[in-house]
Structure 1
Amino acid sequence: MIVLSIFLVLGVSTIFWSLAGLVRLTGEEWWRVQGLSSRIRGWIALLRGGKVPIPRRQRARHRSKGVRIYPANVAVLVAAHNEALVIRETILAAAALVPRRNIHVVSDMSTDDTAAIARAAGVKVLDLEPNRGKAGALAAGIAHFDLCRRFKVVLLLDADTRPTPDYLETGLPLFDDPTVVAVAGRAKSIMSPAPPTAIGRFLVAYRERLYIVVQLLLKYGQAAQGANVVSIVPGFASMYRTSALAKIEVLAPGLVIEDFNMTFEIHAKKLGRIAFHPSAAVAYTQDPDNLKDYIKQVRRWILGFWQTVRRHGLQFSRFWFVLGLYIVELIASCLFFVLLVPAFLLSSLAAVEVWIFGNRSEVFIFLSGVLRPQDVLIGVFLPDLFLTVLAAVTMRSPRFLLLAPFFPLMRILDAVICLQVLPRAYSANSSGVWVSPVRRIQREPQEIATPGPSVVRTG
């Protein structure tokens, strides 16, 4: 039972792809060292007046590279619905990456000053009516502004996302590989300033831990050149090569979110590779800091995943084989966490009946050993603590450890939501029409500072 619990808590997929990520990291470090030694040899040769030889593998890599893409070739597309409080700062952040003429805002039936603020900022604006939802707004913007013909890459940016100043500097080189058609951005939570409430700080810390686990232990290995099984190119800040974007059905009917579907389209149509690297294309986002918004967001994410699985089904390819195994593991893990508390209480009551009241019946003896306290400690809390330690080390923030005992409770909540929305994905369609969350003004983190007044962030 302990071994099974460990695998369900950590995840078989997480363990496997973490190992694949280690192999990838080892290879990258080896070539980095080889490149360094080659440069040292080149410097010595130059000092001696000779020519600098290019290693055979490096020559082959140069031949295989595609055409370098520069920021001038990148369009930024922002879909917005009632985002007057945040759109100006989003445009400022985007303008630090590309010329303002490359920035396009689609105001999806906004009833506030979203469109007026965007026009005043000097970017291209499209007003839509009626409300089409994010996917509809993106599809309309791509077509109206003719982005796939005019640009080589489109950066899809949420209205409350702040890309780092080196977002394109680190992300565009991944397109040097001509087989790469999408670059998945790396998400980071804005941790400072902290939310005003204790529950808010806890929720943001838990979400940051999730980002670290998914991106470092799972996605990094899945994006290895020999794998290419990334299941999500997040819509908050990611890039698409326009030659592939033109073939993606952005507006798919019946889906509550678009990014899972766009990713599945890449795999289904065999358009190319999805690239991801933890140090490339980094962007900051503010996550929900109250339980109501958290539940609403998680429900949308998970419902969107199940709806996309329903739409595409399972096909015969490496991606769908990996996806099928993940779905089995996901359902098993959710059932485990949902039943964890009832099973522990039942086992504890049976143990009390056996050891205190002396009831030695086979049923009570069996139940008392189903989920003992040591099983929960070793099989649940310690594996989950490992994930928290990883987050604490990565973030260089020991305070994550203080919250560690409560994180499993959030995993139970996530599991309940996951199983709850599963039937909805197969019984009803979603219109995709969106309602923006309540925004609040918040100081921008130092890492992504841009000129202008205080930045407005998501509430």
Structure 2
Amino acid sequence: MKPISPFGLPIGITFSFWTLMGLFRHVEETYINKKPATLFTEDYRKIGIIIPAHNEELVIQTCISRLKRYVSSQQIFVVSDGSTDNTTVVARKEGCSVLDLDASIGKARSIKQALEKFWLIQQYEYILILDADTKVHAEFLPRALRLINDPSYAVVFATVGIEDRTSKWPNMRWYYISYRERLDYILRYFIIFGQTWKYTNAMPVVPGFCALYRTSVLSKVRIDTPGIVIEDFNLAFQIHKKKLGKIGYELGLTGWSQNPDNLKDYCRQVFRWNIGLFQTMKEHGIWPSFFWISLATFTFEMLVFSFSTAILPVYLILIITGIAENPNLSIHVEALSAWYDPYVTISLGGIIVILYIFDYLLSIMIGIVNKRPHYIVYGLFYFILQYITACILLISIIPGFTSHSDGTWKSPRRQDE
């Protein structure tokens, strides 16, 4: 978008600024203030683990078994949020403490119930909140403990990873999964790494699938704020607004999770996240801070990009059919351009280069770096999901600021582990 892109590049201020901050962070942490290699494995006993679950019998055993490499089953607390399958049976068989709720009350309220029922704030120094389909990376806990050992940090989180089980032949299931995986790579390297630098601290969300909190912080926030569909944004906003500490992350902090593998689940999840962001903005309001400057810039850019993407097909049709040259229409087109037209100085070829070829080359680059050769095929068609995602954002605005959610959720379709 030319109006908000530096140097005429097909990237925005947010992308450019946080990429630069990420480079500064890399230099600072690698060459100036190199971190000690000490891993705080002896602190495992200080961690209590909460796994909220709703009908997760297919995946929860694998999640728990990964955790038991580091902690005892007595430190793992499963909250069955109205499950109707064998989630509780599997959890009890693994030796975990189980809170079985008769009716679904939502993830945030389930977490609060576990904290109160098992007295976890009083027992543990840290609380790891984990989705039932998450498999923590072997180095997550020791590295997260090393980072949160700095008392200035309130929480340390992981970014999502996908175990490479791609089929030999392209299929729709892996098209959806790989699109989300590619997006996670982009966010991780070009935005999140810079936002979680200790000198910037502007991360607007704590990914709820794998996050290690300081219990003193959890005791000062309201996890189950009424009307908000997800806790990820809600907790991050409270941490920033109440100045409870930094939100920490470093490259390599990863947890494997199951992303949506069909259009219905993908749309439902993206819509839910968008709703959650707007609900959180409404709930906590605006306060003077670098955090809000960063968030406002990002939100504005996403809205402009989404609107521009949504109207692009109409614009292309007008050009291809020559309707835009019709004298009866041209005056209206010119009037619109005077108010808003992100494509006014870009040719049709330029639009294709920016929105398709540049994006495809980015897919290839990320695929090569992360050894994901299937991006070469799937990347040819990512523009379809980009268009759908842009439209979902736009239709989320009004319900996001007007709706009231009860926090209940339905997980995407799971694959047997």
How far apart, in 2, do the equivalents of 1:133 and 1:139 lie?
A: 10
Larger deviation, residues 144-153 vs 9-18: 9-18
Shift of 1:312: 1.0
Once the two structures are superposed, the pairs formed by residues 309-458 of structure 1 within 5 Å of their partners are: 309-350=281-322, 372-441=347-416, 455=417
Name 1:134's counterpart in structure 2: 107
Once the two structures are superposed, the pairs formed by residues 274-293 of structure 1 within 5 Å of their partners are: 274-280=247-253, 282-293=254-265
Determine if contact 1:256/1:431 at 8 Å carries over to the other structure. Answer: yes
Q: Given residue 309 of structure 2, which amino acid in structure 1 is its aligned partner?
A: F
Alignment of 1:168 onto 2:141 = yes
Shift of 1:213: 0.8
Determine if contact 1:108/1:137 at 8 Å carries over to the other structure. Answer: yes
SS of aligned partner of 1:125:
strand
SS of aligned partner of 2:256:
strand
Name 2:28's counterpart in structure 1: 27
Q: Given residue 315 of structure 1, which amino acid in structure 2 is its aligned partner?
A: W
How far apart, in 2, do the equivalents of 1:331 and 1:17 lie?
A: 18
Q: Given residue 288 of structure 1, which amino acid in structure 2 is its aligned partner?
A: P
Q: Given residue 291 of structure 1, which amino acid in structure 2 is its aligned partner?
A: L
SS of aligned partner of 1:283:
strand
Shift of 1:350: 2.0
Name 1:240's counterpart in structure 2: 213
SS of aligned partner of 2:144:
helix
Q: Given residue 158 of structure 2, which amino acid in structure 1 is its aligned partner?
A: G
Residue number among 243, 249, 255 corresponding to 1:270 in the alignment:
243
Shift of 1:89: 1.7
Determine if contact 1:9/1:333 at 8 Å carries over to the other structure. Answer: no
Larger deviation, residues 135-144 vs 168-177: 168-177
Shift of 1:435: 2.8
How far apart, in 2, do the equivalents of 1:70 and 1:410 lie?
A: 43
Q: Given residue 167 of structure 1, which amino acid in structure 2 is its aligned partner?
A: F
Mark the CA change 1:73 to 1:320 in structure 2 (over 3 Å): closer, same or farther.
same
Mark the CA change 1:364 to 1:231 in structure 2 (over 3 Å): closer, same or farther.
closer
Shift of 1:360: 12
- Identical residues among aligned pairs (%): 31
Shift of 1:283: 0.5
Shift of 1:195: 9.8
How far apart, in 1, do the equivalents of 2:309 and 2:60 lie?
A: 39
Determine if contact 2:166/2:174 at 8 Å carries over to the other structure. Answer: no
Q: What does the per-residue CA deviation read over 1:23-71, in whole Å, with 9 as the maximum and x for residues that have no partner? A: 1111122137x78xxxxxxxxxxxxxxxxxxxxxx9xxx9xxxx99711
Shift of 1:164: 1.3
Mark the CA change 1:346 to 1:370 in structure 2 (over 3 Å): closer, same or farther.
farther
Determine if contact 1:80/1:107 at 8 Å carries over to the other structure. Answer: yes
Q: Given residue 388 of structure 1, which amino acid in structure 2 is its aligned partner?
A: S
SS of aligned partner of 1:18:
helix
Determine if contact 2:4/2:301 at 8 Å carries over to the other structure. Answer: no
SS of aligned partner of 2:121:
helix
How far apart, in 2, do the equivalents of 1:129 and 1:196 lie?
A: 43
How far apart, in 1, do the equivalents of 2:330 and 2:70 lie?
A: 69
Name 2:65's counterpart in structure 1: 92
Q: Given residue 250 of structure 2, which amino acid in structure 1 is its aligned partner?
A: H
Mark the CA change 1:433 to 1:196 in structure 2 (over 3 Å): closer, same or farther.
farther
Mark the CA change 1:389 to 1:10 in structure 2 (over 3 Å): closer, same or farther.
farther
How far apart, in 2, do the equivalents of 1:364 and 1:435 lie?
A: 46
Determine if contact 2:20/2:194 at 8 Å carries over to the other structure. Answer: yes
Determine if contact 2:134/2:210 at 8 Å carries over to the other structure. Answer: yes
Shift of 1:149: 1.4
Q: Given residue 231 of structure 2, which amino acid in structure 1 is its aligned partner?
A: E
Once the two structures are superposed, the pairs formed by residues 152-301 of structure 1 within 5 Å of their partners are: 152-194=125-167, 198-280=171-253, 282-301=254-273
How far apart, in 1, do the equivalents of 2:83 and 2:9 lie?
A: 44
How far apart, in 2, do the equivalents of 1:201 and 1:287 lie?
A: 10
Determine if contact 1:351/1:364 at 8 Å carries over to the other structure. Answer: no
Determine if contact 1:250/1:262 at 8 Å carries over to the other structure. Answer: yes
Q: Given residue 421 of structure 1, which amino acid in structure 2 is its aligned partner?
A: S
How far apart, in 2, do the equivalents of 1:180 and 1:353 lie?
A: 58
Shift of 1:8: 8.9
Shift of 1:147: 1.3
Name 1:15's counterpart in structure 2: 16
Alignment of 1:76 onto 2:49 = yes
How far apart, in 2, do the equivalents of 1:352 and 1:436 lie?
A: 45
Unaligned runs of 5+ in 2: 338-342
How far apart, in 1, do the equivalents of 2:9 and 2:80 lie?
A: 43
Q: Given residue 150 of structure 2, which amino acid in structure 1 is its aligned partner?
A: D
Determine if contact 1:233/1:263 at 8 Å carries over to the other structure. Answer: yes
SS of aligned partner of 2:415:
strand
Shift of 1:187: 1.1
Unaligned runs of 5+ in 1: 36-57, 442-454
Count matched residues. 407
Shift of 1:116: 2.1
How far apart, in 2, do the equivalents of 1:382 and 1:226 lie?
A: 35
Determine if contact 2:82/2:104 at 8 Å carries over to the other structure. Answer: yes
Shift of 1:5: 7.6
How far apart, in 2, do the equivalents of 1:198 and 1:312 lie?
A: 42
Determine if contact 1:87/1:117 at 8 Å carries over to the other structure. Answer: yes
Larger deviation, residues 288-297 vs 82-91: 82-91
Larger deviation, residues 384-393 vs 326-335: 384-393
How far apart, in 2, do the equivalents of 1:119 and 1:323 lie?
A: 42
SS of aligned partner of 1:408:
helix
How far apart, in 2, do the equivalents of 1:209 and 1:216 lie?
A: 11
Q: What does the per-residue CA deviation read over 1:287-346, in whole Å, with 9 as the maximum and x for residues that have no partner? A: 111111111111111111111111111111111121111111111111111111111111
Larger deviation, residues 140-149 vs 187-196: 187-196
Q: Given residue 80 of structure 2, which amino acid in structure 1 is its aligned partner?
A: S
How far apart, in 2, do the equivalents of 1:332 and 1:360 lie?
A: 28
Larger deviation, residues 268-277 vs 189-198: 189-198
How far apart, in 2, do the equivalents of 1:224 and 1:133 lie?
A: 32
